[in-house]
Amino acid sequence: MKPGVVFRDWLRSGGNGPEMVVIPASKFRMGDTRGKHGKDELPVHEVKIQKPFAVSRYEVTFDQYDEFAKATDRKLPDDEGLGRGRQPVIRISWNDAVA
């Protein structure tokens, strides 16, 4: 797919997945290049993205994540009283986020 292309996958459970956008292979300098932030942003170093990948165009909502969690037998995350629905999902692990 070409960089910048937006697409949606068809889900086995029916319906469309979230809008995804293709990010190109590239390189960039990561870290504090202006010397204005903390030491945790040092050393500045080059990061190379080896191949294109797709990422959700928008934050994943509780509605979307709950559908995924139920379809894959995952535990539903706690919303900490902030509400679910169209709110961005919180309290999920890295492993759940990349599944």
pTM above 0.75, yes or no: no
Regarding whether 63 and 51 lie in a shared domain, the answer is: no
Domain that holds residue 76: 59-99
Q: Domain tally for the chain?
A: 2
Burial 63-96 (b: 16+ CB within 10 A, else e): ebbbbbbeeeebeebeeeeeeeeeeebeebeeeb
Regarding whether 30 and 15 lie in a shared domain, the answer is: yes
Regarding whether 73 and 34 lie in a shared domain, the answer is: no
Q: pLDDT tens across 57-78, in order?
A: 999 999 999 988 988 899 999 9
Query: What average pLDDT does range 81-86 have in this prediction?
Result: 96
Regarding whether 68 and 29 lie in a shared domain, the answer is: no
Regarding whether 51 and 4 lie in a shared domain, the answer is: yes
Q: pLDDT tens across 3-60, in order?
A: 899 999 988 778 888 899 999 999 999 999 888 877 888 899 999 999 999 999 999 9
Look up tokens 């068809």; give the residue. 10
Residue 27: per-residue pLDDT: 97
Regarding whether 12 and 42 lie in a shared domain, the answer is: yes
Regarding whether 29 and 72 lie in a shared domain, the answer is: no
